[in-house]
With several copies, the nearest count.
Chain A
């Protein structure tokens, strides 16, 4: 049994979340992570229940607010492997502002968005990624908003690791997850995830027919062509690492953290207070 296993889940049978959970456990094991150094962070939603189903430290905060908590935990203790799992509504709707700005902050965490293109836990309203025209109990005349393209958005905001995958392609997902976790900086994977209970448009079959892996010669370092690829989301949906760029992360730029000692372990000078008070004389 996996190091990362735990109790029963409350997801619907057939839900794509199961594959994501399995893949994540696999990825963590293959990377040889110690569960006690892993911190799973989530907001609120179906996807956000994932930390409850994996043996690791966990922080299940507020709906939409997982990223600020996650990056700050990493700032406090860089030895933690910080992984955020949460929904499309949580990440791009309620949490949209944190999404765009944490890309700019570039803290070394990993963000897995279970993108079922619907609000699952609240029983099926349109999410930011829902297709235009989708009918729900709230969008009775069809969703009027054009869907957000999260990977395009991430690239446009300057993210250094932007990927898409699909819960139904476990091998692919595990491989991309591992790359994302190992990437030094903010890494996001938008994971297509069928919601069998509420999303009758974007089903397993829907995704399965459309997804294809990026060509072997795909150049993930070219931002413009990455954006072009990112816009491909229709009859064909590319999966894989769309854009990747290595750059200094938050810790490397922060004067307190750049020495590499976790914040909570830095010894404070015993004379610190006495030195500071001198300013006020």
Chain B
């Protein structure tokens, strides 16, 4: 029902942000969805609720503490509750009357829409998008039933977000890959990355992508490398445990300079950990994964907009520098839905350039796949598309790509590969700065804590204007240092806020810049930090 509800909300011109909390099992267990909406853009979830829709007894109890005093608790009249915020309705029996007990969700949807006085815009279209044809009629009935069951209660201010799109972080990532020119995707199922595989499969024909479920993660990445070598922009996706198995081939991409995008959708580790929950604890891992040394780039996705643009850009960077580019997302972003500005396709057009440029013919004379060049970038041809032999070798190799043991060639090749970073560093994107010109406390964060932290800055500054600011990293490795140093020199206090136990961003920053954070707000229980938690830590020193 969340999918249908969020669509109605969006179509009514509201901004929506939906997160899911589910257990690592197929049925049963306590699972719930949080929908936050309003007339202003919503960047994250909130712990404080205006309303609860409870479909079982547990939900009545488990969350009521977080329900606002004047909130509502919608539930079926079969459940007994003392809570005076409850709206008990005979939803189940009405659903049964309609002919399918499961339409209770649609009845509740109707109720909510009415409570907030929203219109049933595009009723049929919306249902058709999310509900199978055969269940359409009964769900339509159910929504109308719910809608007529209650009176309007809240009035929302005017709002204008009808032309937004709504999608999940993983859908945005996958769509970004399509915009980045992907032609090949291989993966082994693993939460929370599997929905990328599903989405790209569903678009394989429309977007001309070969999507292959591999026998294991090692196969997945080696396939992506093989496809990329043969000219198909390629990505492989997984979560931390699967990333482990890709580590060796990551080095192959680095050594043979084969463009590659690897998406790691983080979840709490170590090992199997908490498979359906969220964490940001793979940063240092992916930065130094694989033996030996080679240039790579790591981009952390901060939100649903990044997920699209930065994934597309990852393909560009991978191809331009002939390196592996790692995309770090996490379960929170991957599985949450947000309504945002439609993507601007003009902004990703430059990516086509790099794909076409690749096929240029080398200068006269011998083709040197690994030519020692000033910027470290060597001519990349596609095998079979030229009267030159294209080579790749996981051993150290000569300019032609043949195995060598020469100390001189080794030095030249190492230096050549690392020279690529000079140019790359020039086009790094600085972290996003949230705040006014002047501030005292600087928060440092990365990835999906973007939403909670930036909302927290705004919220805290409402009470104490000009006191808080944040730098939120997207490009994270190599670390962009310019803005960081500038803002740090201004800060009275620096606090890193991270969804891990060791403060990995803070460690990385210290390693590169000697900047030391004064305090850390770390969370690693598998649940995303909320704006409320940040605010109450700052105001009251209460750690979540």
Direct contact of A and B (CB under 8 A): yes
Among B46-54, B145-153, B211-219, B292-300, the stretch that binds chain A is B211-219
Q: A69 with B166: in contact, given A36-B387, A122-B191 (CB under 8 Å)?
A: no
Contacts of B202 in A (CB 8 A): 137, 140
Q: State the Cβ distance, B485 to closest chain A Cβ, in Å.
A: 38
Excluding A197-B26, A263-B210, 15 further A-B contacts by CB distance (< 8 Å) are A35-B389, A58-B401, A60-B393, A61-B249, A61-B252, A63-B272, A65-B218, A69-B222, A72-B224, A98-B219, A138-B189, A138-B213, A141-B204, A277-B343, A280-B342
Q: Say whether A60 contacts B395, CB under 8 Å.
A: yes
**Chain B residues whose C-beta falls within 8 Å of the C-beta of A281 in the assembled complex:** 163, 165-166, 342
Of the listed stretches B106-114, B180-188, B318-326, B534-542, chain A binds B180-188
Q: List 16 A-B contacts (CB under 8 A).
A: A56-B389, A57-B389, A59-B392, A62-B249, A63-B272, A71-B223, A72-B212, A73-B383, A76-B210, A77-B230, A93-B188, A137-B198, A139-B201, A141-B205, A268-B208, A277-B175
Do A256 and B232 touch across chains, with their CB atoms under 8 A apart? no
Would you call B390 and A122 a contact (CB within 8 A)?
Answer: no
- Cβ-defined contact, A276 with B229, below 8 A: no
Complex CA–CA separation, A97 to B217 (angstroms): 11
Complex interface: chain A residues within 8 A of B208 (CB): 256, 263, 266, 268
Contact check, A277 vs B165: say whether CB atoms are below 8 A apart. yes
A37 to B385, CA, bound (A): 8
Report Cα–Cα, A118/B391, bound state, in Å. Answer: 28
Roughly how many angstroms separate A263 CA and B218 CA in the complex, as a whole number?
A: 23
CB neighbours (8 Å) of B271 from chain A are 62
For residue B340, which residue of chain A has the nearest CB? A280
Per-residue 0/1 for A135-150: is the Cβ within 8 Å of any B Cβ (1 yes, 0 no)?
0011111000000000
Beyond A75-B184, A277-B165, whether A44 also contacts B219 by CB under 8 A is no
Contact between B227 and A76 (Cβ–Cβ < 8 Å)?
A: yes
Q: CB-CB < 8 A to B343: which residues of A?
A: 277
Please state if B184 and A61 are interface contacts (CB–CB under 8 Å): no
Is the CB–CB distance between B403 and A60 below 8 Å?
A: yes
With beta carbons under 8 angstroms apart, the residue of A52, A55, A266 that contacts B403 is A52
Which residues of A are found within 8 Å of B224, using beta-carbon distances? 72
CA distance A264 to B225 in the complex (A): 14
Q: Kindly provide the distance from the CB of B400 to the nearest chain A CB, expressed in whole angstroms.
A: 10
Taking CB atoms, residues of chain A closer than 8 Å to B203 are: 276
State the Cβ distance, B157 to closest chain A Cβ, in Å: 23
B206 near A276: Cβ-Cβ < 8 Å: yes
Whether, in the assembled complex, B27 has its beta carbon less than 8 Å from a beta carbon of chain A, the answer is yes
Q: Let me know if B229 and A55 touch, CB within 8 A.
A: no
Interface hub of A60, A119, A126, A257 (most chain B Cβ within 10 A): A60
Could you tell me if B345 and A61 are in contact, using CB atoms closer than 8 angstroms?
no
Q: Is A70 an interface residue (CB 8 A)?
A: yes
Does B241 make an interface contact (CB < 8 A)? yes
Residues A132-189 near B (CB distance < 8 A):
137-141
Question: Quick check: is A216 within 8 A (CB to CB) of the other chain?
Answer: no
Give the distance in Å from the alpha carbon of A39 to the alpha carbon of B382 in the complex: 11
Are B384 and A36 closer than 8 Å at their CB atoms?
yes
Contacts of B348 on A, CB cut-off 8 Å? 273
- Which residues of B have CB within 8 Å of A65? 218-219, 222, 249
Residues of A whose CB lies within 8 Å of any CB of B are: 7, 10-13, 35-37, 39, 41, 44, 46, 49, 52, 55-65, 67-77, 79-80, 93-94, 96-98, 100-101, 119-123, 125-126, 128, 137-141, 197-198, 254-257, 263-264, 266, 268, 272-277, 280-281
Contacts of A276 in B (CB 8 A): 175, 178, 203, 206-207
| Residues from chain B with Cβ under 8 Å of A7 in the complex | 402
Is B376 engaged at the interface, CB distance under 8 Å to the other chain? no
Q: Is the CB of B386 within 8 A of A63?
A: no
B204, closest chain A residue (CB): A256
A255 to B229: give the CA distance in the assembly, Å.
22
Q: How far is the CA of A181 from the CA of B201 in the complex (A)?
A: 30
- Given known A-B contacts A57-B384, A122-B190, A256 and B222 have beta carbons under 8 A apart: no
Residues on B with beta carbons closer than 8 Å to the beta carbon of A272: 178, 206-207
The 4 tightest CB contacts between A and B, nearest first, are A69-B226, A72-B226, A101-B215, A76-B230
A22 to chain B, nearest CB (A): 19
**B226 in contact with A70 (CB, 8 Å):** yes
Q: Tell whether, in the assembled complex, residue B189 and residue A97 are in contact, meaning their CB atoms are under 8 Å apart.
A: no
Q: Is the CB of A93 within 8 A of B215?
A: yes
How many chain-B residues does the 8 Å CB contact rule pick out?
Answer: 84
Give the residues in chain B near A139, CB-CB below 8 Å.
201, 213
Q: In the bound complex, do residue B383 and residue A96 qualify as a contact, i.e. CB atoms below 8 Å apart? A: no
Contact B345 A68 (CB under 8 A): no
B194 touches A120 (CB 8 A): no
Q: B209 to chain A: which residues have CB within 8 Å?
A: 256
Give the shortest distance, in Å, between B353 (CB) and chain A (any CB).
14
Report the minimum CB–CB distance from B514 to chain A (whole Å).
37
* Residue ID in chain A nearest B312 by CB atoms: A273
Chain B residue contacts of A98, Cβ below 8 A: 215, 218-219, 222
| Bound CA span A94–B216, Å | 5
| Cα–Cα distance between A52 and B210 once the two chains are bound (Å) | 29
Please report the C-alpha to C-alpha distance between residue A119 and residue B202 in the assembled complex, in whole angstroms. 18
CB <8 Å contact, A79 and B183: no
Assuming the contacts A71-B226, A256-B204, asked whether A55 and B216 have C-beta atoms less than 8 A apart, the reply is no
A residues in contact with B188, CB < 8 Å: 93-94
Cβ contact within 8 Å between B171 and A61: no
What is the minimal beta-carbon distance from B210 to any residue of chain A, in angstroms?
5
A184–B130 alpha-carbon span in the complex (Å): 41
Bound: A276/B189 CA distance, A: 24
Shortest beta-carbon distance, B215 to chain A, in Å?
4
The one of B25, B167, B227, B391 in contact with A73, judged by C-beta atoms closer than 8 angstroms, is B227
Say yes or no: B231 contacts A58, CB within 8 Å.
no
| A55-B383 contact in complex given A68-B222, A268-B207, C-beta closer than 8 Å | no
* Pairwise interchain contact B207-A39, C-beta atoms closer than 8 A: no
Chain B: CB-nearest residue to A73? B230
For residue A10, which residue of chain B has the nearest CB? B25
Residue of B nearest to A137 (CB): B198
Picked from A72, A122, A128, the residue with its CB within 8 Å of the CB of B189 is: A122
* Chain B residues in 8 Å Cβ range of A137: 198, 201-202
Chain A residues with CB below 8 A from B213, complex form:
125-126, 138-139
Are B241 and A63 in touch, CB under 8 angstroms?
A: yes
How distant is A128 from chain B, measured CB to nearest CB, in Å? 7
B365 close to chain A: CB less than 8 A: no
In contact, B229 and A69 (Cβ under 8 angstroms): yes
Assess the A280–B165 pair: CB atoms within 8 A: yes
Query: Which residues of chain B from 222 to 259 have a CB within 8 Å of any chain A CB?
Result: 222-232, 234, 241, 248-249, 252, 256
Chain A residues lying within 8 Å of B231, measured Cβ to Cβ, are 76-77, 264
Cross-interface CB contact of B216 among A11, A44, A97, cutoff 8 Å? A97
Write out the residue numbers on chain B whose beta carbons fall within 8 Å of the beta carbon of A58.
Answer: 389-393, 401
Contacts of A93 in B (CB 8 A): 188, 215-216
Closest to B122 in A: A281
Q: Distance (Å) between the CB of B12 and the closest chain A CB?
A: 14
Q: Are B384 and A39 in contact (CB under 8 A)?
A: yes
